[in-house]
A and B are shown apart, each in its own frame.
Chain A
Amino acid sequence: MSNQIRHATWVVVLCLLVAMALTIWPLPAAVEPFRPEWTLLVLIYWVMALPTRFNVGVAFLAGLLLDVLTGTLLGQHALAFTIIAFLVSMIHLRIRVYPVWQQAIAVCFLLAIHESILILVEGSTGTLEGLGQRWAPIVTGTLFWPWVMLLMRYLRRRFQVT
């Protein structure tokens, strides 16, 4: 059992690290505001698929790392990710059986909640910028969800993460 767990965990960790790398991948300035929140998308999938293994603890750590990685206020992504992971593990049984486009709608709501938490934290600490473009990652994140979902599901089946 423990061997099995160890076998599976590195796949998830690797997915999260790749998502973080994509988060800071250099893009042209015009496209940059549209970058989806990759780490959150990956996290939502794994919490949805295996909520008994990956939930708020993993979300908190991933958020903290993302904060250090992108130099934002320490804890703001950790806060948002923890809340999203909690919501996902509350509704995972329902959204797991949805068709993909319906899942994307649920993910859209989750991304909107995530973005509003970030805006709330940044607004109350006086670091809020570019409010007019904060909707962009929600839209692109929703559009990218089916592909992220299919890729993660393939990886989960390929490496038998349970």
Chain B
Amino acid sequence: MATALRDPYNQPLFEHGPPLGIRTLMLVVLAVILIAIDHREGHLDRLRGSLTLVTYPIQLVVDLPASALERAGETMADRDLLLEEIRELREIRLEQSARLQRLESLEAENRRLRDLLDSAERVGERVLAAELLRVDLDPFHHRVLINKGSRDGLFAGQPLLDAEGIMGQVTQVGPFGAEAVLITDPGSATPVELVRSGLRTIALGTGDLTRLELPYLPNTADIEEGDLLVTSGLGMRYPRGYPVGRVTRVERRPGETFAAIEAEPSAALDRSREILLVWREDGRPFDWDPLEEAPAEDVEPLEEVPE
């Protein structure tokens, strides 16, 4: 057999190049350098982005059965079923457009009141629909893949929504796909606000798709089961006012400084396939800090500000 002939008993293991030990050492050092740079600086986005050109097709292939099944289901759906679905959707649209009419007048009113108070106008947002790829990245982290990338203008740190609420934020952007971390990832923290009392705190991910933790509220905090949490916009990542979750458990522990509070995410984190990506209407990222930069040119009365 040919393999037997190539067995390196009496021929040098390598015909060319440095010996194996040296090569291993070089690659190990290279790997450690990569880890250090990626961990500390995150300057490797370009390398990662170009490598996704190889890995993204693999991810698409893995996603293929799920999306093909979905498409097959769509094409083979019964006509009556489709008609009924259209009817239902029309009803929903009618209902929502009625609500939207009121919203527009409210927004105009809000703008006038903010003008009176001389406070900055809240910037509008625009959204783009995308799809999640059905792949498992890591059993212990809640990360997902999106089928839109920098080609569609995605950026790292961009918020991700579904129809029910905040899902997470984009962490890595490749040319065709992007990776996002969900709010339930153990490394994720979401600045939130209680709708009922205006109380602000932080919701931490637990590694469980149906549970968020609010560990920084004292026993005396005004919070009850069923309270709705929305984003407070303070972390400058998520836009303000999108639902995050509902409080499911409040346990006030007399011996402890903080109460044990849990919430359930509003977004269907384990079921949504259609998602929305959000941009500010003026094109700035959400982490743009208004205090650090000069005001935009559309703010006119600059010279009237007393110095």
A: which residues have CB within 8 A of B? Answer: 17, 20-21, 24-27, 29, 32-33, 35, 49-52, 55-57, 60, 63-65, 68-76, 78-79, 82-83, 85-86, 89, 93, 121, 125, 127, 129-130, 133, 160, 162
Contact = CB atoms under 8 A, between A and B. Distances in A.
Given A68-B52, A73-B39, A129-B186, A82 B27 contact: yes
Interface stretch (B28-36, B74-82, B242-250, B292-300): B28-36
Given A21-B62, A60-B27, A75 B139 contact: no
Given A26-B66, A26-B136, A35-B139, A75 B27 contact: no
Given A17-B58, A79-B31, A130-B207, A162 B3 contact: yes
Nearest to B179: A71
B48 A68 contact: yes
A27 B135 CA distance: 9
B207 A129 contact: yes
A83 B20 CA distance: 11
A162 B2 CA distance: 7
A117 to B, nearest CB: 10
Contact of A56 (B20, B37, B48): B20
Contacts of A79: 28, 31-32, 35
Contacts, number: 129
Given A49-B3, A78-B34, A82-B28, A65 B55 contact: yes
Q: How large is the interface on B (under 10, 10 to 19, 20 to 34, 35 or more residues)?
A: 35 or more
27 contacts: A17-B58, A20-B55, A21-B58, A24-B62, A32-B136, A32-B139, A51-B13, A52-B8, A56-B27, A57-B23, A60-B30, A64-B51, A68-B55, A69-B55, A71-B138, A71-B143, A72-B138, A73-B39, A74-B44, A75-B35, A75-B38, A76-B35, A82-B27, A82-B28, A83-B24, A85-B24, A130-B140
B221 interface: no
B188 to A, nearest CB: 12
Contacts of B139: 29, 32-33, 35, 130, 133
Nearest to B26: A56
A14 B58 CA distance: 11
Contacts of A89: 20
Interface in B192-236: 207
B240 interface: no
Given A21-B61, A35-B139, A56-B27, A74 B48 contact: yes
Contact of A162 (B6, B28, B135, B171): B6
A78 B32 CA distance: 9
Nearest to A56: B24
Nearest to B31: A79
Contacts of A52: 6, 8, 13-14
Contacts of B291: none
A150 B174 CA distance: 37
Contacts of A78: 27, 30-31, 34
A63 B31 CA distance: 10
Contacts of B6: 50, 52, 162
Given A73-B35, A74-B44, A83-B28, A25 B136 contact: yes
Nearest to B135: A24
A79 B26 CA distance: 11
B195 to A, nearest CB: 31
Contact of B135 (A25, A74, A160): A25
B115 to A, nearest CB: 45
